[in-house]
Chain A
Amino acid sequence: MIELNDVSKTFTLHNQGSAVIEVFNDVSFRVAAGECVALTGASGAGKSTLMRMIYGNYLAQTGEICIGGVDLVQAAPREVIQLRRDVLGYVSQFLRVVPRVSTLDVVAEPLRMVGVAADQAEIRARALLAQLNIPERLWSLSPTTFSGGEQQRVNIARGFAHNYPAMLLDEPTASLDAANREVVLSLIEDAKARGAAIIGIFHDEAARARVCDREIDVTRFVPGVAA
Chain B
Amino acid sequence: MTPLLSVQGLSKNYGAHIGCADVSFDLFPGEVMGIVGESGSGKSTLLNCMAGHLVPDAGQVVFDTRADGPQDTVTMSEPARRMLSRTDWAFVHQHARDGLRMGVSAGGNVGERLMAVGARHYGDIRGKATDWLERVEIDVDRVDDRPTTFSGGMQQRLQIARNLVTGPRLVFMDEPTGGLDVSVQARLLDLLRGLVRDMGLSAIIVTHDLAVVRLLADRLMVMKSGHVVEAGLTDQVLDDPQHPYSQLLVSSVLQV
- 15 contacts across the A-B interface (CB closer than 8 A): A14-B243, A14-B247, A14-B248, A15-B247, A15-B248, A56-B233, A58-B239, A58-B240, A59-B236, A59-B240, A77-B234, A78-B31, A81-B218, A98-B215, A100-B186
Q: Report yes or no: A77 in contact with B218, Cβ–Cβ below 8 A.
A: yes
Residues of A within 8 A of B31 (CB): 77-78
**Cβ-based interface call for B193 (8 A):** yes
Cross-chain contact of A98 among B190, B232, B233, B234 (Cβ < 8 A) = B190
Contacts of A11 in B (CB 8 A): 240
Q: Are A13 and B247 in contact (CB under 8 A)?
A: yes
- From 189 to 224 in chain B, residues with beta carbon under 8 angstroms from any chain A beta carbon are 189-190, 193, 215, 218-219
Q: Kindly report which residue of chain B lies nearest to residue A9, judged by CB atoms.
A: B240
Give CA–CA (A57, B239) in the complex, Å: 7
Chain B residues within 8 Å of A, Cβ to Cβ: 28, 31, 186-187, 189-190, 193, 215, 218-219, 232-236, 239-240, 242-244, 247-248, 251
B186 touches A15 (CB 8 A): no
**In the bound complex, CA of A45 to CA of B187 (Å):** 40
Q: Contact: A81 with B233, CB < 8 Å? A: yes
Q: Does A101 contact B (CB under 8 A)?
A: yes
Whole-angstrom CA separation of A122 from B234 in the bound complex: 29
- Do A78 and B28 touch (CB < 8 A)? yes
Is A184 an interface residue, CB under 8 A from the partner? Answer: no
How long is the Cα–Cα vector from A64 to B236 in the complex, in angstroms?
17
- Let me know if B219 and A77 touch, CB within 8 A: yes
Q: In the complex, A57→B235 CA distance in Å?
A: 6
The answer to whether residues A58 and B247 also contact, given A81-B218, A100-B187 and a CB cut-off of 8 A, is no
The 4 closest A-B pairs by CB, nearest first: A14-B244, A77-B219, A77-B233, A58-B240
Tell me, in angstroms, the Cα distance from A56 to B187 when the chains sit together.
29
Say whether A126 faces chain B, with CB atoms less than 8 Å apart.
Answer: no
Q: Give the contacts of A1-16 with B (CB-CB under 8 A).
A: 11-15
Q: Does A201 touch B at the CB level, under 8 Å?
A: no
Cα–Cα distance between A29 and B218 once the two chains are bound (Å): 29
Distance from A164 Cβ to chain B, minimum over Cβ atoms (Å): 18
> Is residue A80 within 8 Å, beta carbon to beta carbon, of the partner chain?
yes
Q: Determine the chain B residues whose CB is within 8 A of the CB of A56 once the complex forms.
A: 233, 236
Q: Output the residue of B189, B219, B233, B247 with the most chain A CB within 10 A.
A: B233
Separation of A88 and B187 alpha carbons in the complex (Å): 30
Smallest beta-carbon distance B255→chain A, Å: 14
Report how far A20 CA is from B244 CA in the complex, Å. 13
| Cβ contact within 8 Å between B233 and A80 | yes
Residues of B within 8 Å of A98, CB to CB, are 186, 189-190, 193, 215
A96 to chain B, nearest CB (A): 9
Chain B residues near A78 (CB-CB < 8 A)? 28, 31, 218-219
The 8 A CB mask of A29-65 against B (1 = contact, 0 = none) is 0000000000000000000000010001111000000
